[in-house]
Amino acid sequence: MDTTYLSLEGKIALITGGSRGIGKAIALTFADAGADVVIASRKMPDLEKVAEEIKAMGRNTPCIPTHAKKIEDLENLVNQAMDTFGRIDVLVNNAATNPAMGPIVDTEESVYDHIIDTNLKGYFMMSKLVGRIMRDQKTGNIINVSSAGGVSPAEGLGPYCISKAGINMLTKQMALEMGPYNVRVNAIAPRIVKTDFSKALWTNEKLMEREFKFTPLKCVATPEEIAQTALYLASTATNYMTGHILVVNGGAFF
């Protein structure tokens, strides 16, 4: 069977939050599919570990320390990617934070601001910076890692869910604006993924017992499964898909 439609051979991908969890899995999956990958996150040692794995595949992998909340860092990231490769074919917005759990009425304003600035404004600025490049290229692909929490509420995760709902609308709005320039914009909305980021959820036995009552597949996702979904969106297999929020939730119905 010919599966070359899943190839990213010759493509340049930029991935934020690429040193661990979902971002790391996407970086490795894209490299395995043939892409050169620019990876960014806050800590250089973590990036270098991932880069070693990617370079072993024969791919070029610049590592650029970047704080998703700092606009000057994002500008530097995009500039360095362009200086190295001269174009960006795929942007994966993945860097995110969630430092608090609890009711909205008990959430400090500073915590809310931190979540929105990192998750939503960070995606907005990266989409803006890279979107201009893709508009000039007349081609490109933006993939936002959202959350099922952006589609339906989740107990104790109000500000996080709000930020992800914003990402979903950012996805749709960018798809509307960028479609005429042959730039596709889609999002992946996972439920619980087995990463360190969500460890407080999938290690909570009572929560998972309740979760699986409403989840037909009776398991949480792996980072690799989300990465393969990202590959699907990055590839020519989805050339006629844009503005879509692809919910990956094991069939959960609440």
- Give the residue numbers marked as catalytic: 160
Instruction: Determine the straight-line distance between the first and last CA of the chain, rounded to whole angstroms.
Output: 37
Rounded to 5°, angle at Cα 211 from 207 and 215: 165
243, 172 contact by CB (below 8 A): yes
| One-letter amino acid of 217 | L
Query: Which DSSP state fits 181?
Result: G
What is the chain's alpha carbon radius of gyration, rounded to the nearest angstrom?
Answer: 17
Query: Which DSSP state fits 149?
Result: G
- CA 148/CA 164 separation, integer angstroms: 8
Quick one: tokens of 156? 């104790």
Nearest to 201 by CA among 221, 187, 185, 186: 221
- CA 144/CA 134 separation, integer angstroms: 15
Residues 6 or more apart in contact with residue 136 via CB below 8 angstroms: none
- β-strands 245-248, 90-93 pairing: unpaired
